[in-house]
Structure 1
Amino acid sequence: MEKSGGSRAAVDDEVHGTPVLSRDQAEGYVAMVCFKHGPPRLHGVELEWTLHHEDDPARAVELTDLARALGPHAPTTVDPHSPHLPLPAGSLVTVEPGGQVEISSAPTPSVAFLLEAAATDAAALGELLAPHGLRRGEHGLDPHRAPRRILRTPRYDAMEDFFAAIGPHGPRMMCSTASLQVCVDLGEGAEAVHRWDAVHALGPVLTALFGNSAVMAGSDTGWASARLRSTLATAPPATFAPVRCADPVAQYTRMALDAPLLCVRRAQGPWTAPPGLSFAGWVAEPHRVGREPTTADLDYHLSTLFPPVRPHGYLEVRYLDAQAGDGWVTPVALLTALLSRGTTVERVLEATEETADRWLSAARVGLADPALTRAAAAVVELAVSALAGLDLPGAVAEEVARQLQERIDDATSRRCSA
């Protein structure tokens, strides 16, 4: 969910960065830091898992369990004295509020290297956990336990209070969900707009293809991706997918500045934000917080927004459920293949035109939606053709293609027998 829990030690002073004195200044800053144009070259992946005791998956995992298992790889939110060493292939381990573990790869232009490095570090993480009787979950939502926060930081205290006032989905998102996140470059010029549109238009289709979070705390939710349902409902409308438009930069910037503050960093006292105050409101009425906001405050605010695709200078695709075992390889290869060429991106937009706004249907029924099945079949056909343009070993590309076609065939078979 986020690389730092926001410890007090990180806030030496309440004032950081350049003061933000106007909305125009804030808008320009968001556009600059979130939408960095450049040739699409690099890829990254973030793999997240719920964590369970091998002998009793429903038993709570404690922070001390994590500290022992992760050792020198533990983040400082788990062990303040940890050196937080990277795993063998360079990924850093982070821990989410409910004890979910995540590894984040370094960006690379090679998809083959990305998959190999992430697989190496995922295996290394498993080897750290196993001697302590811990294992990683296989779903995008904890199927055994209700949400329970074990990581205590000022950031998460404030966020939990904010989300709880809206409903149950925020605490679930914080403490019970696990996602697969794919990071890709934005691109440049008109290409950047098309890639932005394409990664969003693919959301319902890929949610339907890879939904993996139907059970929560022992009960069937009736949703193919109850994780995405909770994420979308965490803090609407900031957690909704944007409507396609000609100027997504201005659209996202407006959303970010008008979104309520989830927390305000302080050297002393809780990080609770004034109720209903947006970042734009803080700029206009700094007395409500007691000081002017800064660019560092704006950076932090941007890290508390959870849309399906989050721009970080690159695009962080956040709508995929965690997959069992090495099942994450297929959606990562699929998405990178679909974005590998401008012509393929254009065809993606055509294939998903009917389904680009079917987020809730995808989360609820997945490929039982006939329109999503049709779009998924077209997208898979595009991806299988595009795999040849990646630097993947032949056996990996063939296995990805096989798994994708198997999902389409299974969906078609279920529809025919219904």
Structure 2
Amino acid sequence: MSDSASGCTEHRTALTEAEVEALVSGICFKTGPPRTLGVEVEWLVHELRTPRLPVTPERLEAAYAALRTVPLDSALTVEPGGQLELSSPPAASLMECVGTVSADLDAVRAVLADQGLRLVGLGHDPWHAPRRFLRERRYDALEACLDRGGPAGRHMMCTSASVQVSLDAGHEEPGPLGHGRRWWLAHQLGPVLVAAFANSPLVGHRPTGWVSTRQLLWTEIGPGRAGAPPLDGDPRTAWARHVLDAPVMCVRRAEGPWEVPDGLTFREWIRTGAPRPPTKEDLDYHLTTLFPPVRPRGHLELRMIDAQPGDDGWIVPLAVTAALFDDPAAAESAYRAVKPLAERTLARPAPHNPLWTEAARTGLADPELHEAAIACFMAALEALPRLGATAQVTHAVRTYLDRYVLRGRCPADDLLDRLGGPDSSRSRLRPTGGAPTDHGKDDRT
């Protein structure tokens, strides 16, 4: 959201806690038969011929100015560190979604190639330190807010990228496609997706000890900003309470920098009315500053998948996730596959529990995650023809299953193998101590 979209809201009507609960329930969970699908693909932007050299802000600005003239069906946005994001329109089928985004990516890549730049699918930049490209009050406030918790926030803002799959919330009624089951499944399947698609083992040229350093960074940001609510109740009620008890990132104003309160929850803001009473516009904005692994936005936005290697690598997590949620038989198979994992998520909500931690640290080396991933990929493969997937998409998923999932590997292992040479091993390359963000501070490019 740009500064131009945020005006002074003092003249608006203030909210009550009951109104927030009602608004959040209505805004964030819109139920009905699952009919549409979407994807947001984020990319790092590197020099085409010398990728370890940082791209200057001037070159990024020139490239993005050229991209603004290209007609696209997807929304093209720029992330704080200069990453590019393509957000598909809601698609009526998997193949419609794949076709739209693939065509748009071809157009974007052609423009960037003319500028000597390229898109790179990695969950975290392996070489470059965080450097903010966008200078807007929203990101000034977000940076100030996240800096209180350490360096993870700047890495998340400026050097990370993901594949985010958006799914309809589901039926109001219970069942495999009911919204309650889909909400639960998204959180329990989340660590399986983290592990299977982990692709961010390096920071500052060195292994961090985690196959998904990007997921670790989200954990380090803290449960208030990047955590999920408990799963032991109604999704609408749980999410509304989470929104009320989450810290406010900023209090916007028409002029000057935005105030960044320390530890003020939205509930406390309502009760105190200071520095001014919050409004519906403030609530709408507050919802955009929360980054749980599964974010309800009328639909469900799954945010835990690292950006994938290759031009078309993003299609595999999109296809697998769509199959496991929108095909009733595959949804039931996925539910049975992840149900044994639930005990490991009882201690704390996602992603701050042992299962999510193990998924980010070791990937499919965890036996239970490995078993669940195999079952889920097999169920997805059976379902994809029923969803109208082409032979090319089905082949891509099968190839991924054979290359990575069955072998207990993920794309991060390929990066570690290349770093360590042909005789490298996962255990030898991964140190057990030290925060991953420490590497980036010592080895800036």
Equivalent positions of 1:359-370 (< 5 A) are: 359-370=356-367
CA deviation after TM superposition for structure 1 residue 389, in Å: 1.3
Partner amino acid for 2:133? I
Is 1:29–2:26 an aligned residue pair?
no
Give distance in 1, aligned partners of 2:14 and 2:93. 39
Post-superposition CA distance 1:274-306 (Å, at most 9, x none): 2211111111111x22x2211111000000000
Q: Residue in 2 aligned with 1:301?
A: 286
* Change over 3 Å in CA distance of 1:404–1:379 after alignment to 2: same
Equivalent positions of 1:2-401 (< 5 A) are: 4=1, 6-7=2-3, 9-15=4-10, 19-71=13-65, 73-74=67-68, 87-88=71-72, 90-189=73-172, 190=174, 191-286=178-273, 288-289=274-275, 291-325=276-310, 326-356=312-342, 357=345, 358-401=355-398
Give distance in 2, aligned partners of 1:57 and 1:115. 27
* Change over 3 Å in CA distance of 1:178–1:208 after alignment to 2: same
CA deviation after TM superposition for structure 1 residue 62, in Å: 3.5
* Change over 3 Å in CA distance of 1:224–1:342 after alignment to 2: same
Q: Residue in 2 aligned with 1:81?
A: none
Give distance in 1, aligned partners of 2:25 and 2:75. 28
The answer to whether the 8 A contact 1:44-1:108 is kept is yes
Post-superposition CA distance 1:160-212 (Å, at most 9, x none): 01101111111110111001001110012220000111111111111111100
* Change over 3 Å in CA distance of 1:100–1:306 after alignment to 2: same
The answer to whether the 8 A contact 2:359-2:369 is kept is yes
CA deviation after TM superposition for structure 1 residue 101, in Å: 0.7
* Change over 3 Å in CA distance of 1:124–1:359 after alignment to 2: same
The answer to whether the 8 A contact 1:212-1:224 is kept is yes
* Change over 3 Å in CA distance of 1:353–1:87 after alignment to 2: farther
CA deviation after TM superposition for structure 1 residue 148, in Å: 1.1
The answer to whether the 8 A contact 1:70-1:128 is kept is no
CA deviation after TM superposition for structure 1 residue 86, in Å: 6.3
Q: Residue in 2 aligned with 1:80?
A: none
CA deviation after TM superposition for structure 1 residue 121, in Å: 0.9
CA deviation after TM superposition for structure 1 residue 92, in Å: 1.7
Give distance in 1, aligned partners of 2:56 and 2:109. 17
- Runs ≥4 residues deviating over 4 A: none
**Which range moved further: 381-390 or 397-406?**
397-406
Q: Secondary structure of 2:226's match?
A: coil
The answer to whether the 8 A contact 2:75-2:88 is kept is yes
**Which range moved further: 395-404 or 318-327?**
395-404
* Change over 3 Å in CA distance of 1:412–1:316 after alignment to 2: closer
CA deviation after TM superposition for structure 1 residue 327, in Å: 0.8
CA deviation after TM superposition for structure 1 residue 245, in Å: 1.7
CA deviation after TM superposition for structure 1 residue 412, in Å: 8.0
Flag structure 2 segments of 5+ consecutive residues without an equivalent: 346-354, 414-425, 428-445
Give distance in 2, aligned partners of 1:166 and 1:105. 33
Q: Secondary structure of 1:353's match?
A: helix
CA deviation after TM superposition for structure 1 residue 15, in Å: 3.6
Q: Secondary structure of 1:37's match?
A: coil
Flag structure 1 segments of 5+ consecutive residues without an equivalent: 75-84
State TM-score, norm by structure 1.
0.90
CA deviation after TM superposition for structure 1 residue 355, in Å: 2.6
Post-superposition CA distance 1:6-54 (Å, at most 9, x none): 31x22343347x5243111111111110111121110011110111122
